Amino acid sequence: MIVMKFGGSSLESGEAIFRVTQIVKSELARNPVVVVSAMGKTTNRLLDLATEAERGHSYFAWQSLKELQEYHLEEASKVVSGAALDSLGDSLHRQFTQMCRLIFEASDEGRELTPALKDEIASLGERVSSEIVAAAMQAAGIDSFHLDSRKVILTDDNHTHATPRYWETYAKLRRVIPVLAADRTVVMGGFIAATAAGATTTLGRGGSDLSASIVAAGISAEEVQIWTDVDGVLSCDPKVLQGLYRLKCLSYDEATAMARAGAKVLHPDTVAPAVRQRIPIVVRNSRRPECEGTRIASGAVPCGNPVKSIACKPDLTILELRRTAGASDLLETLKQLCSRHGVAPEMIAQSGDAVYLAVKSCERYDHLRMDLEHCVEARVRTERALIALVGGAFPQAARAIAVLKNPDAFAIYDEASPLTLTIVVAQGDLSKSVELLHREFFKEVDHRVFAKSTPELAPQPETLLPCPSRRMKWNRLQPVRLH
């Protein structure tokens, strides 16, 4: 068995969903289990409308939810037809109507937008996308079964960032999935789970990757495939720089380092369940399924390049802290303070006698500074970005700084992250700095590890779909007033 995870960009339209069905069909001999994210940017929109509802903007929230329903139903109508489409439409309408009630409880009835309620709202994207994909597969001739992930993935009750209860989850997965998948393709929503009491939880943003890895570990899959909108793990973020290289292979440790440094292809915790089972992870492009992608497995492949990837984290505030008692105690103190005050650090690192903390510029950290007044020196740098060179690049620190020719740039090497060298630059210098570093460290590449990344192909025309899109008279979502 294999696990195939498809991200939101691979499911953003009916055309994209049709491509997914064809990719799954090509792997039927390997008995795939399919894990899907929400379609497009659905999760962001759900969280935005929840915030608007909390502010009392009920009409805006209702309008946004109605648009989301129509978007899902319209795209579904491009890949499902007839009675199956009618049944799917009824199911989706019931779910959106229930969500409408929750939204109006928050806006009109003053219900608090608790983390538990946020999870209930945010989970809608994966719940409906998995139903649509399962129906689309059935329409494409793939015998499929929709499995609600909340029935098999258990977590604690830390809503919005729940921690999986791995062994209980593995036991459920081993009992349920092999039976269902014996003669059908199981389709599940990623990102979502449930507590032992049945309350909906989510695994944090990007958690669909983690869901796929958990499922793979639970059923001892032979491979996890992460399908996205790029050719694999690249030498840099294509939104920052063009003309990149695809890595053919990576070790688990290198992939984890890249994810924690800001590479967006994988969730930072994705590899953990797979590592325990030594399950390979392959990152591939749903728009170019013929590309072999990047294979992540145990053991690093020898490489002549000191840097394998450049990752970025923009829009940060950097705190540099020093004290005479030494930085080791300060590092642990800072970690505890972040946990106590609910500050989500983008980086905490000790380099020499200094400790560095990076937080998103929009995040408040005043309470941290008040608790750290005992420090001899505390320097704050605003409007900064982090550039991480991943691949054991520490000996290249002087070379990297020399290439930038920027007196404000400086390097941070944390012994706890031996594969990563981090460089701090001004936010305005980010793009130029990445370009200079990429040009320097990828002048020549080891072709055992790197291949040239091909630009994304143009979207396929709608005429390739097996059934034409047809407009239906859907049940319209009506404003709900609770009395």
pLDDT at position 279 is: 95
Other beta carbons within 10 Å of 443: 8
pLDDT at position 467 is: 45
Reported as a single tens digit per residue, the pLDDT across 464-483 is 444 444 444 455 555 544 33
Of 205 and 246, the one with more pLDDT: 246
Over residues 339-362, the mean pLDDT reads 84
Over residues 396-420, the mean pLDDT reads 90
Are the CB atoms for 68 and 96 separated by under 8 Å? yes
Reported as a single tens digit per residue, the pLDDT across 380-393 is 899 999 999 998 76
Structural domains of the chain in order of their starting residue, each with its CATH number: 2-229 (3.40.1160.10), 309-445 (3.30.2130.10)
Are the CB atoms for 406 and 433 separated by under 8 Å? yes
AA letter at 151: K
**pLDDT-derived band at 369, boundaries 50, 70, 90:** low
Over residues 445-465, the mean pLDDT reads 67
AA letter at 454: T
**What are the helix (H) ranges across 3-114?**
14-26, 42-54, 58-76, 82-107
AA letter at 94: R
Over residues 297-324, the mean pLDDT reads 88
Task: Give Cβ neighbours of residue 40 (< 8 Å, ≥ 6 apart).
Answer: 8, 9, 11, 12, 13, 71
Over residues 143-149, the mean pLDDT reads 97
Residue 454 has pLDDT above 90, yes or no: no
Are the CB atoms for 349 and 388 separated by under 8 Å? no
Residue 367 has pLDDT above 90, yes or no: no
Residue 285 has pLDDT above 50, yes or no: yes
Give the least confident one: 14-23, 152-161, 294-303. 294-303
Query: Which class for 52: exposed (0-12), middle (13-18), buried (19 or more C-beta within 10 A)?
Result: buried
Three-state DSSP at 219 gives helix
* Average pLDDT of the residues of the chain: 88
Distance separating alpha carbons of residues 202 and 122, to the nearest angstrom = 8
Of 251 and 459, the one with more pLDDT: 251
Distance separating alpha carbons of residues 111 and 29, to the nearest angstrom = 49
- Edge to edge, what strands does the sheet with 354-360 contain? 347-351, 354-360, 309-322, 377-390, 420-426, 410-413
AA letter at 419: L
Of the candidates 206, 248, 209, the one whose C-alpha atom is nearest the C-alpha of residue 446 is 248
pLDDT at position 376 is: 62
Other beta carbons within 10 Å of 414: 18
Residue recorded with tokens 């499911």: 11
Reported as a single tens digit per residue, the pLDDT across 313-343 is 999 999 888 865 544 577 887 888 887 777 7
Are the CB atoms for 232 and 281 separated by under 8 Å? no
Q: Quick one: what percent of the chain has pLDDT higher than 70?
A: 89
Assessment of whether the complete model's pTM goes beyond 0.85:
yes
Question: What DSSP element (H or E) covers 450?
Answer: strand 450-452
Reported as a single tens digit per residue, the pLDDT across 212-262 is 999 999 999 999 999 999 999 999 988 888 889 999 999 988 988 888 888
SS3 string of 377-437? EEEEEEEEEEEEEECCCHHHHHHHHHHHCCCCCEEEECCCCCCEEEEEEEHHHHHHHHHHH
Q: Which of 331-345, 363-377, 411-425 has the highest mean pLDDT?
A: 411-425
Q: Which of 106-110, 276-280, 330-334, 469-473 has the highest mean pLDDT?
A: 276-280
Residue 300 has pLDDT above 90, yes or no: no
Residue 174 has pLDDT above 90, yes or no: yes
Please give the torsion angle defined by the CA atoms of residues 459, 462, 466 and 472, in that order, rounded to the nearest 10 degrees.
130
Question: What DSSP element (H or E) covers 145?
Answer: strand 144-147
DSSP code at position 311:
E
Residue 302 has pLDDT above 90, yes or no: no
pLDDT at position 470 is: 43
Over residues 95-103, the mean pLDDT reads 91
Are the CB atoms for 32 and 255 separated by under 8 Å? no
Count of H helices and E strands in the chain? 14, 18
Are the CB atoms for 52 and 61 separated by under 8 Å? yes
pLDDT at position 267 is: 74
Estimate the share of the chain in helix, then strand, then coil, as percent rounded to the nearest 5. Answer: 40, 20, 35
Reported as a single tens digit per residue, the pLDDT across 49-66 is 988 888 888 888 889 999
Query: Dihedral of CA 448/313/192/165: which sign?
Result: positive
Query: Which class for 105: exposed (0-12), middle (13-18), buried (19 or more C-beta within 10 A)?
Result: middle
Residue 418 has pLDDT above 90, yes or no: no
One-character DSSP codes across 236-291: B-TTT-SS-EEESEEEHHHHHHHHHHT-SSS-TTTHHHHHHHT--EEEEETT-TTS
Residue 117 has pLDDT above 70, yes or no: yes
